[in-house]
Amino acid sequence: MGAIAAAEATLNLTIQYIKERQAFGKQVAEFQNTKYKIAELATEVEMGRVFADRCVELHDNKQLDGATASMAKYSLTELQCKVADACVQLHGGYGYIWEYQVARAWADARVQRIYAGTNEIMKELISRKYLK
């Protein structure tokens, strides 16, 4: 849940930034590449939120199995990293400056794929369900 929340927050932060930031006489949000990247990220984050919410529903009903929980940890932490990386890029050089929240979000995202079981371990657990 932390990974999808962080992805959503980083995306929203970046959307606000690109609406305010000017380059070549117009908002960064007006460039076609920026629009397409935001569309891609927003779509993937929305799909991630739906999956996360479904996992919560399954957990509440005592139906969440280990493989599905591993899928959530694996896929949502990968998504968090992807979003953070793209958002750093959309911030340009400022995205790498520690004073900008997006730089910290990028650093924080990386460890998500390691603790609570690495994503490689999650893949191992997922594969056991399908390769019995």
Q: How high is the mean pLDDT of the chain?
A: 97
| Axis crossing angle, helix 32-60 with helix 2-20, rounded to the nearest 10 | 160
Name the CATH topology of 2-127: Butyryl-CoA Dehydrogenase, subunit A; domain 3 (1.20.140)
Residues 6+ apart with CB under 8 A from 30: none
Question: Domain boundaries in the chain?
Answer: 2-127
Q: CA-CA distance, 38 to 33, in Å (whole number)?
A: 9
Write out pLDDT tens, residues 55-80.
999 999 999 999 999 999 999 999 99
pLDDT computed for residue 100 by the predictor: 93
pLDDT computed for residue 132 by the predictor: 85
Write out pLDDT tens, residues 111-128.
999 998 999 999 999 999
Using a pLDDT cut of 70, give the percent of the chain over it.
Answer: 100
pLDDT computed for residue 54 by the predictor: 98
Query: pTM score, two decimals?
Result: 0.94
DSSP 20-86: H-EETTEEGGGSHHHHHHHHHHHHHHHHHHHHHHHHHHHHHTT---HHHHHHHHHHHHHHHHHHHHH
Write out pLDDT tens, residues 29-64.
999 999 999 999 999 999 999 999 999 999 999 999
